[in-house]
């Protein structure tokens, strides 16, 4: 029987435009502004995806105060940062953004199946 320690990590996953422009130690509002600026958007057009848990209440309050939109997810968040993709017009497909990745030291079959299903949904929406 293997017992793993449970822990929570602060993490931020962004697309290619905001890569290298955020700082985990900076205030949430500042990071949201950095993403908005990188994407040439208003802060109100940025959507933050966050796990719907009581422990995130303070962060949610800060996101709302900054003016960004929120999309709550109810399941584990590893899938949502398993990899970040962008559309490559030349290759006509989604490609992984260099340097993106998840938190597991080794992907499990379950994580892989969740990530694949999630990516298929995102690709379907992007390419529709």
Give first-to-last CA distance, the chain, whole Å: 45
The tens digit of pLDDT for each residue in 65-84 reads: 999 999 888 765 455 555 56
Which residue carries 């990590």 as its tokens?
A: 9
> What is the rounded CA–CA span in Å between residue 7 and residue 116?
25
Q: What is the pLDDT of residue 88?
A: 75
Helix (H, G, I), strand (E, B) or coil at 110: helix
User: 19, 31 in Cβ contact below 8 A?
Assistant: no
Question: Where in the chain do CATH 3.40.190.90 domains reside?
Answer: 1-77
> What is the rounded CA–CA span in Å between residue 49 and residue 18?
15
The whole-number average pLDDT for the span 56-64 is 95
pLDDT surpasses 90 at 96? no
Tell me the CA distances in angstroms from 49 to 32, 89, 109, one per residue in order. 12, 26, 24
What pTM did the predictor assign?
Answer: 0.59
Question: What are 81's two structure tokens?
Answer: 């940062």
pLDDT surpasses 50 at 26? yes
CATH of 1-77, one of 3.40.190.90, 3.30.450.260, 3.20.20.105, 3.40.50.720: 3.40.190.90
Confidence of residue 24 (pLDDT cuts 50, 70, 90): confident
Q: What is the pLDDT of residue 14?
A: 82
Q: What is the pLDDT of residue 16?
A: 77
Nearest CA among 125, 115, 117, 58 for reference residue 87: 125
pLDDT surpasses 80 at 34? yes
Helix (H, G, I), strand (E, B) or coil at 115: helix
């Amino acid at each position: 029987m293997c017992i793993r320690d449970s822990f929570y990590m602060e993490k931020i996953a962004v697309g290619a435009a905001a890569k290298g422009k955020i700082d985990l130690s900076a205030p949430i509002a500042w990071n949201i502004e950095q993403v908005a600026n990188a994407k040439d958007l208003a802060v109100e057009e940025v959507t933050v995806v966050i796990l719907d848990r009581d422990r995130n209440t303070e962060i949610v309050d800060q996101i709302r105060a900054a003016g960004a939109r929120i999309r709550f997810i109810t399941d584990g968040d590893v899938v949502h940062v398993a990899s970040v993709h962008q559309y490559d017009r030349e290759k006509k497909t989604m490609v992984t953004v260099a340097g993106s990745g998840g938190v597991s030291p080794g992907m499990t079959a379950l994580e892989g199946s969740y990530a694949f299903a999630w990516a298929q949904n995102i690709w379907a929406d992007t390419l529709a």
